[in-house]
Structure 1
Amino acid sequence: MSRRLFHFVAIVPFLFLCSNTQAQRTPHPASIPLQINGQVRYAQGGRPAELVLVRLESFGGGIAGEFTTDRNGRFTFTGLASDLYIVSVRVAGFKEVQQQVDLRTQLTDYLQLQLVSDTRVSDSSPTKRTGVVDANVPSKALAEFERGRDAILQAKNPDEGIMHLENAVKIYPKYLAALLLLGTAYMDQQHWDKAETTLRQVLALEPKTTAAHFALGELYLGRKKYSESENELLAGIKLDPNSVRGHLTLGRLYYEMGDITKAGPQVGTALQLDLKLAQGHLLAGNIWLRARQPDNALVEFEEYLRLEPNGEFSEQAREAVQRLKQALAKH
């Protein structure tokens, strides 16, 4: 275990940052890139599975990454350590797909994953719904969605993107992917009421849409509606206990509420799932400061700067590091 992790766990166990899996890995030389690429398709018809969440887990435990497939159903994980991994895809109404990849004996692998309809689920069952994947989307709605998505994610034109997404929803009101992206686009533009209404529509159609719960949790957190935020974040984490986003946001919520005894475990869990989570180290540093543990705060701020030397809060972190070093030097 690294000195940083040992120090963090030994002093304040409630942050739960122990990660034996990371320590046991024996990476290839840094000059050799390790990656996993692949494509997800529907078994019936062979259509690419767009906007499907692909999860990468270390065989020894812990999330190594998550990727949402593009319009061609493709996904990629890069910068991986030499390890044994499990790639999994779970979509409501389809059988779970899992495939093992051994990057201890090869540098890269390419997977072809197929989603097979789960005949054990009745057509009338709510779990038959496919979340953000819907084979019933009309072609015109799909075209509007793709224009909107590209305008937002590629052209960085949110106004145009919102217009196309609104058109997609008008054509097909049950278009979950369009509603979800539209809700987050409204959030980015600070159209809070529209965002809340749209995300509520998503949950009305599919209550198990974790992304909608987390987005609402973030929306309520930004508006200081702490009780509502906590409810949504806990609902999302109940559905996806290994969500880095969920645990980190819940940690932020408790930190803003002034409850570091609750904030610590959430941030610790997020970092256990993803040790390269820069925002997690930044928040951990602030928690240590509030707990009056400046030496530990210094370690976390330095780790944040190592991961994001030009990040949004890098200047503030550098100032904090300088002040902490000066203060610690006096003792």
Structure 2
Amino acid sequence: MTLLAPFFLNLMKKNVTCACLILAFALALATTAFAQDIEIDTKYKSADTNNAVIEGRVTLPSGFAANRILKITLKNSLTVLSTLQSDKQGEFRFDNLSEGVYFVQAEDGGAEFEPVVEKVMLGRGIVWELTVQLRERKIPRVVNSGPRVISAAELHQPVPAGAKKEYELGLKLVGRGQITEAAEHFEKAISIYPEYLAARNDLGAQYLKLKRLDDAEKSFHIVLAGDPKNFNAQFNLGLVRVERKNYLDAISQLNQAIAIDSARPVARLWLGFALLETGDLADAERELTKALVMGGAECVAAHYHLARVYLARGDKTEALRAVRAYLDDAPKGEYAKEAKQLEKQIKN
């Protein structure tokens, strides 16, 4: 018996090894069968086929069909992707789109309605049916003249030649970044012609840059006393409220500026900022998105503020996309330092 013991011991070890191998094989078969029972969504089995579609129609504020040809612009957060005209019923279509976030802007090119922007979260291979409702534009008493908006009241002022010369010298200095010197020329223009609205507004703007908020506010109030529909003064007064962190008053003031001229994206940028500071994330996102779509590079800061909106909402993916868009477009921008810190915060 003593001599047979090693033989039986080895035999038992071999049987145990075989049993383990058989068990492992059975488990592998079961796992494979279980995996085959799980249905994997077909959209994740292959790359994006870029066949998603946005079908849209534009309606009047009443809900009836627009019955006019409109300019339709498709953008993402970085650039304009496509521009087309709707048909006579206000209907349009964008084909061959990939999955992602898009912004659709509709505008009729006239003074009756303001441009409207809608956000679309487009899934892979789907057809998104979009309705864009126009909003009536309050008729502004302003006309465009270069980069500034000049009110009708300013155009009809009998400005003396000496005052105009000082004003134009001030504008040149503003372009060179010589703020204090520019303010001095605007002051001289006003001393010659105290009713000079443009000079008073631009003087106030320089005071605002110099953080002389009381003087800036006084200048804008004088302009508005003579021209209540002056966009520049209304907008700049809103910026005074922002500088003072009086965000509720800033929101009211900036809305008044937008009522005068709703096509100025920079007013929507600052309105979105003020709304964000009050915690109104939904309205902040709406205004910042409009600013970005309408203003492009002029409103690149909207990317950074939108990143803050998305992060506050808990959407780290969108927040990271927005902050990267800002840093890509404005690596040395006003908020570059804060954006880099925000990017680190999101990734951690």
Alignment-derived partner of residue 271 in structure 1: 292
Per-residue displacement from partner, 1:280-315 (whole Å, max 9, x unpaired)? Answer: 111000111111111100000011011111212223
CA RMSD of superposed structures (Å): 3.2
Q: Aligned to 1:181, which of 195, 202, 206?
A: 202
Q: Which digits, 9 at most, give the CA deviation of each residue in 1:174-197, with x for residues without a partner?
A: 211101100101111111111101
SS of aligned partner of 1:269: helix
Change over 3 Å in CA distance of 1:153–1:58 after alignment to 2: farther
Residue aligned with 2:232, SS: helix
**Structure 1 runs of 4+ off > 6 angstroms?**
57-61
Q: CA deviation at 1:25?
A: 4.2
1:210 aligned residue: 231
CA deviations on 1:15-72 (whole Å, 9 max, x unpaired) are: xxx952633249xxxxxxxxxxxxxxxxxxxxxxxxxxxxxx8979969xxxxxxxxx
CA distance in 1, matches of 2:163, 2:329: 40
The answer to whether the 8 A contact 1:91-1:130 is kept is no
Q: Normalized against structure 1, the TM-score is what?
A: 0.60
One-letter identity of the residue aligned with 2:230: T
**What do the CA deviations read for 1:131-154 (whole angstroms, capped 9, x no partner)?**
443451001111111222222322
Name the residue aligned to 1:222: 243
In 1, the alpha carbon distance for the partners of 2:242 and 2:109 equals 34
Name which of 311, 314, 319 aligns with 2:333: 311
Alignment match, 2:44: none
Q: Which has the higher contact order (CA 8 A, sep 6+)?
A: 1
Report if the CA contact (8 A) 1:236-1:246 is conserved.
Answer: yes
Task: Confirm whether residue 198 of structure 1 aligns to residue 219 of structure 2.
Answer: yes
1:23 aligns with 2:91: no
Q: CA deviation at 1:275?
A: 3.8
SS at match of 1:23: strand
The 5 Å alignment of 1:1-331 reads 20=74, 22-25=80-83, 92=141, 130-134=152-156, 136-154=158-176, 156-276=177-297, 277-325=299-347, 327=348
**Does the 8 A contact of 2:235 with 2:253 survive in 1?**
yes
Q: CA deviation at 1:278?
A: 1.4
1:196-245 deviations in whole A, cap 9, x for unaligned? 01001111111111111111111011112233212211111111122211
**Residues in 2 aligned to 1:23 and 1:59: alpha-carbon distance in whole angstroms:** 19
> Which residue in 2 is equivalent to 1:104?
none
* Cα distance change, pair 93–251 in 1 and its aligned pair in 2 (3 A): closer
Kept in 2: contact 1:62–1:272 (CA 8 A): no
State percent identity of aligned pairs.
27
What is the number of equivalent residue pairs in this alignment?
A: 223
1:298/1:91 Cα in 2 relative to 1: closer, same or farther (>3 Å)? closer
* 1: CA distance, partners of 2:140 / 2:262: 16
Sort the Cα spacing of 1:324 and 1:230 in 2 relative to 1 into closer, same or farther, 3 A. Answer: closer
How far off its partner does 1:264 sit? 1.5
CA distance in 2, matches of 1:152, 1:272: 28
CA distance 1:292–1:19, shift in 2 (3 Å)? farther
Q: Which structure has the larger Rg? A: 2
